[in-house]
Structure 1
Amino acid sequence: MTDPTLLSLAQIVLPCEVLESFDIVKVESNKTEIHIHLDEKLYETLRKDVHFESKGFIPAVSITDFPIRD
């Protein structure tokens, strides 16, 4: 279960464009890091598009960013 405080923090830190295309599924933290797990949204319009081809699942990736700054 994701801590509601960490979920709120993730929603504040992530750009709105990311939140438009991805759902936050889990947020984990340790002493030095916060790990935000995302799943890409599949919109109904894409699902019905004959040119849309799902590539299936790919391994998770880690994106390292700078610490939050002023």
Structure 2
Amino acid sequence: MLDSHASLLKLFLPEIVIENFDIMGVIQDPETFHFQLEERNNTPEEWGGIKVQSKGFFPEIQVQDFPIRGHKVFYHIKRRRWIDTESKKVMYRDWTLVKKGTRMTGEFAAFLKQISQYSPE
């Protein structure tokens, strides 16, 4: 289902979401859209040559976005975590770095700021 609607979803979701997350599902009820997102297993460029291995996800967070066609919009986000294979340190993408230097609305920059406030522990 999602593959057949991917181009339509690109009209509603910010480009940075489309580039960095897989859309695992969309649930619609009469008043709400729920987008289930999983961060892709792409090592962040800012880590340079650090060798990491994906080790699943942190607990899901929920972020509300601006309404679409009168429906409330919620993103259910699963952020990926990696392990540095040498130091065994848990690593995760710093979304505040992603937003710097990108072209986006102030509202979406605030959305990324909200994601970054959920520091995985």
Tell me, yes or no, whether TM beats 0.5: yes
CA–CA separation in structure 2 for the residues paired with 1:53 and 1:27: 28
Structure 2 stretches of 5 or more lacking a match?
70-121
Pairwise mapping of residues 53-64 of structure 1 onto structure 2 (< 5 A)?
54=54, 56-64=56-64
Counterpart contact for 2:41–2:54, Cα < 8 Å: no
Report the equivalent of 2:35.
Answer: 36
Structure 1 stretches of 5 or more lacking a match?
none
CA–CA separation in structure 1 for the residues paired with 2:7 and 2:28: 13
Pairwise mapping of residues 1-70 of structure 1 onto structure 2 (< 5 A)?
9-43=8-42, 49-52=49-52, 54=54, 56-68=56-68
CA–CA separation in structure 2 for the residues paired with 1:31 and 1:19: 25
The normalised TM-score by structure 2 is 0.41
Q: Note the aligned Cα RMSD (angstroms).
A: 3.2
1:10 CA displacement: 3.0
CA–CA separation in structure 1 for the residues paired with 2:37 and 2:44: 21
The normalised TM-score by structure 1 is 0.65
CA–CA separation in structure 2 for the residues paired with 1:26 and 1:55: 22
Task: State percent identity of aligned pairs.
Answer: 37
Structure 1 or 2: more strand by fraction: 2
